[in-house]
Structure 1
Amino acid sequence: MERKLSSEHQLTVQPQVITDFWQRHVKTGTLKAADNIRLAYAYSVPQNARGTVVISSGRIEAYLKYQEVVFDFFHHGYAVFILDHRGQGLSSRMTENPHQGYVEHFDQYVADMETFIEQKVKVLQPKGPRYLVGHSMGCAIGVLTALKHPDYFDKLVFCSPMFGIRPALPRWLANQLLNHFTRKFTKAGLATDYFVGQKDYLPPTFENNHLTHSRIRYRLFRMLYAEQPALQLGGVTIHWLRAALHVIDIIESRASELNQPCLLLSAGSDTVVDNRRQMRVAQKLKAVTVKSLPGAYHELFIEKDDIRKDTFEAIFDFLA
């Protein structure tokens, strides 16, 4: 009989269960990217794993934020591998201000994922099916990786995928703003800076957050980032936003090239990504199951128990 999922009650009264699991069953390390950026990763492999899950996390996230997620996949029989994308988590930052969400282009994320899969995932878990489980920005990275390497993943899971960004500005206006601020910062001698309205890490209160309805999971997430300031990441830079908008167009134009079965989980009350553009991409996928989770906020993996249960049940059914 398979183990039940971790619960909000367990996190409240027995948080050490996850901590003990992490200390006993999870290994961590670092590897160097092609351009010598240091990449942090974690993995956990149960006996007789039924398959391997490669998690591609969202923007600002770290593998430490996924402790409960790794716990649940492990206890349902899956080996789990997760990489901290460059510029966030415990991986190297690339700007003088470590709070700036920066990347030159998403091909760098893809190259890092290639390094991780070739040097760690394939070496440590060479047999059995391999699945991508992406969240938000991690889904965009996962799509690009799967397009470049169709043999990497047998199935693709997209949770609240960043196939569009909210607020969805008209492209002409977005480009106009990006060009204006690029000229402004270049003239000021700045290599990079935040896009308008973006700033250093400053977490909202639970009552003002639009990521999860789970008070305990939100509290644990923010406590983790408060206790380990190296994990903190603020808003996006002009470079990141320009790269993201470019990639979103690529994903929509090339979605029909994906041959793997796909599961797209859409958070019904998402205010971070554009669900309408998600559906446009879904219509182009050759083999896709779409499941909407009414009322759910963006972070399905740290949502309240009923939404999280529906999320994992959909994933487990799909992978099986």
Structure 2
Amino acid sequence: MSQYSLCAEDNLESVYLSSIEPFWQNIVQQGSFAGIDKVEIAYVVALHSHPIGSIVIASGRIESAIKYKELIYDLYQNGYSVFIHDHRGQGVSGRMLDNPHTGYVLSFNDYVDDLKQFIDEIVTPKSQHKPNLLCHSMGGAIGALTVLRYPELFHKVAFSAPMFGIRPALPSWFANLLLELHAILHSKESYFWGQKNYDSLPFSANELTHSEVRYKIFRQEYQHATRVQLGGVSGHWLKVAGEAMNEIELNVERFPISALVIQAGADHVVDNNRQTRVVAKMRHAKLQVIEGAKHELLAEQDKFRVPCLTAILDFFKE
């Protein structure tokens, strides 16, 4: 149980139809702005009539605001105005390649610049409070870089399974060798070996969540809104992601604001060992491990999601 108003798995499908979808139609506002290099950046906002604060969500790779409908609804029900944009190259934001399924960004600096512009042009004019930042996965890397670059931008930051390292499938020296070889043999717009277009895996094969109902809703949203579908990553994305994660670790000792890092104990996506190492260098950070949880802490079973969100909401209220 939690002292906060949070959706529950046992009636989520009915609540999604009776409450979350009407909320999305009647309360949530959608818009866009021209980001770096004129790439269109889509966003949604849910402005509370009597907000106790503002929360900006920095989402993970392949994600779109529609994947966060339940979370946005929950945060709003607990008194927050909520802001989220789709990163360039995913969601309904502009894609930069001929194949819209290929995960690509020229530099993680572009993600950072888009987020800064989102805060300056959309969030700040619509907020009564300095916003808190809630990051998931890749959004954790983007959020950390943004806080390091603009230390006055946010009040606090909460990280859900942040991408401070990608779980290694191979020894790092061999993975780096493959990246170098791929860059020689292929253009930076090409999929890395083994990557492909969007594929809706069955629940039994997913590594993201134990929650079958939340996984089902996520896939249904992406099946209905085919424009948001995204496949695997390019070799160039892997290269610049590695550079971004190295930059974070090199500079994290000067991380300037209070941070809460929630680690998924059974994460098979990000590297928890490196995550723990990075967090240990942060001066104002607390690490909380949710044992047994998979990567998608914000869309996990209630027994994992409720303590995660309770910790985040407690942290933002302190």
Per the shorter chain, which TM-score range? over 0.9
Q: Is the 8 A contact 1:261 1:288 kept in 2?
A: yes
**Paired residue type of 1:202:** D
| Residue in 2 that maps onto 1:83 | 85
Moved more, 24-33 or 13-22: 13-22
Give secondary structure in 2 for the equivalent of 1:317: helix
Q: Is the 8 A contact 2:147 2:256 kept in 1?
A: no
Q: Is the 8 A contact 2:134 2:158 kept in 1?
A: yes
Shift, 1:7, TM fit: 1.1
Give the Cα–Cα distance (whole angstroms) in 1 for the partners of residues 122 and 3 of structure 2: 28
**Paired residue type of 1:98:** P
Shift, 1:228, TM fit: 1.1
Shift, 1:107, TM fit: 0.3
| Residue in 1 that maps onto 2:288 | 291
Q: Is the 8 A contact 2:86 2:92 kept in 1?
A: yes
Give the Cα–Cα distance (whole angstroms) in 1 for the partners of residues 245 and 4 of structure 2: 37
CA deviation string 1:250-276 (max 9, x = no partner): 111111111211100000100000000
| Residue in 1 that maps onto 2:7 | 6
Q: Is the 8 A contact 1:168 1:274 kept in 2?
A: no
Shift, 1:47, TM fit: 2.0
1:228 maps onto 2:225 in alignment: yes
CA deviation string 1:122-145 (max 9, x = no partner): 1111x3231110000001000111
| Residue in 2 that maps onto 1:146 | 147
**Paired residue type of 1:107:** N
CA deviation string 1:50-82 (max 9, x = no partner): 111110000000001100000011011111100
Q: TM-score, normalised by structure 2?
A: 0.96
Identity in percent: 43
Shift, 1:192, TM fit: 1.5
| Residue in 2 that maps onto 1:177 | 178
For structure 1, which runs of at least 5 residues remain unmatched after alignment? none
Give secondary structure in 1 for the equivalent of 2:38: coil
Moved more, 21-30 or 54-63: 21-30
**Paired residue type of 2:96:** M
CA deviation string 1:186-234 (max 9, x = no partner): xxxx452111111111121101111011111000000111111111000
Shift, 1:9, TM fit: 2.1
1:162 maps onto 2:159 in alignment: no
Superposition pairs for residues 32-51 of structure 1, below 5 Å?
32-51=34-53
Superposition pairs for residues 1-320 of structure 1, below 5 Å?
4-16=5-17, 17-125=19-127, 127-167=128-168, 169-185=170-186, 190=187, 192-320=189-317
**Paired residue type of 2:283:** K
For structure 2, which runs of at least 5 residues remain unmatched after alignment? none
CA deviation string 1:15-47 (max 9, x = no partner): 221101111211011110131100000011112
Give the Cα–Cα distance (whole angstroms) in 2 for the partners of residues 263 and 15 of structure 1: 29
**Paired residue type of 1:103:** V
Give secondary structure in 1 for the equivalent of 2:243: helix
Give the Cα–Cα distance (whole angstroms) in 1 for the partners of residues 234 and 196 of structure 2: 9
Shift, 1:173, TM fit: 1.8
Shift, 1:8, TM fit: 1.2
Shift, 1:10, TM fit: 2.5
**Paired residue type of 2:312:** I
